[in-house]
Chains A and B, each alone.
Chain A
């Protein structure tokens, strides 16, 4: 399946948050570790609600976490 035109900085932000694990982020967002992994790898686009929850965990605005790369 083609990757969506959306990239994300979740891996970097986890690193900057003291190597937060995918499981920990998933728990705080309300999704499984595998779903966080799928989002990081571009195999799943989260819902708007989950995207906001992820951004809130890192204390960043949405556009600092997710970036539109399409035309």
Chain B
């Protein structure tokens, strides 16, 4: 398996685990008693905490993978890696745009602020997860650029 495929698997798995915990907490604890005003800051601090945990786990895993890849001379991206990365970013862009249209143009007409904030965070997470999922699939099934 290519180094960047392993990296995409790692990032995807860690993202799904950590952000599932955050959105589960939102559904179980925040939704029943929605925060108002400055209390929403606590919600964002929670998200930031989850993001830090996710970043640390990915950094540790990536470092371990990089050591192995360096030994095999696979650390530098080649043309296939770049083509696959472009495809992932390209498809994720549409997920992000859809999310941002919903969050910025539709939800403000009738939804509470905490829902809008969390929908924006969800859109970011989904777009990033899509990017990594497309990368994984492209390595697995092939991509011709």
Partner of A50, one of B72, B79, B143: B79
In the assembled complex, which residues on chain A have CB atoms less than 8 Å from the CB atom of B5?
A: 34
Q: Is the CB of A46 within 8 A of B79?
A: yes
State the CA gap A27–B74 with chains docked (Å).
10
| A26 CB, min distance to chain B CBs, angstroms | 8
| A42 CB, min distance to chain B CBs, angstroms | 7
Q: Is the CB of A47 within 8 A of B144?
A: no
In the assembled complex, which residues on chain A have CB atoms less than 8 Å from the CB atom of B83?
A: 44
In the assembled complex, which residues on chain B have CB atoms less than 8 Å from the CB atom of A11?
A: none
Q: Is the CB of B78 within 8 A of A42?
A: no
Size of A's binding interface in residues, CB under 8 A: 20
In the assembled complex, which residues on chain A have CB atoms less than 8 Å from the CB atom of B34?
A: none
Q: A43 an interface residue at 8 Å Cβ cutoff?
A: yes
Q: Is the CB of B143 within 8 A of A1?
A: yes
Size of B's binding interface in residues, CB under 8 A: 17
- For A47, the closest partner residue in chain B by CB is B79
State the CA gap A31–B72 with chains docked (Å).
12
* Given A27-B73, A32-B74, A34-B2, A42-B79 contact (CB < 8 Å): no
In the assembled complex, which residues on chain A have CB atoms less than 8 Å from the CB atom of B81?
A: 32, 35
Residues 128-145 (chain B) with a chain A CB within 8 angstroms: 141-145
In the assembled complex, which residues on chain A have CB atoms less than 8 Å from the CB atom of B78?
A: 30-32, 35
Could you mark each residue 28-42 of chain A with 1 if its beta carbon is under 8 Å from any beta carbon of chain B, else 0? Answer: 001111110010011
Q: Is the CB of B141 within 8 A of A1?
A: yes
In the assembled complex, which residues on chain A have CB atoms less than 8 Å from the CB atom of B105?
A: none
In the assembled complex, which residues on chain B have CB atoms less than 8 Å from the CB atom of A47?
A: 79, 145
Q: B80 an interface residue at 8 Å Cβ cutoff?
A: yes
Name 5 A/B residue pairs within 8 A (Cβ), A-sorted: A27-B73, A32-B2, A32-B73, A32-B78, A38-B142
* Interface residues, chain B, with chain A CB atoms under 8 Å away: 1-3, 5, 72-74, 78-81, 83, 141-145
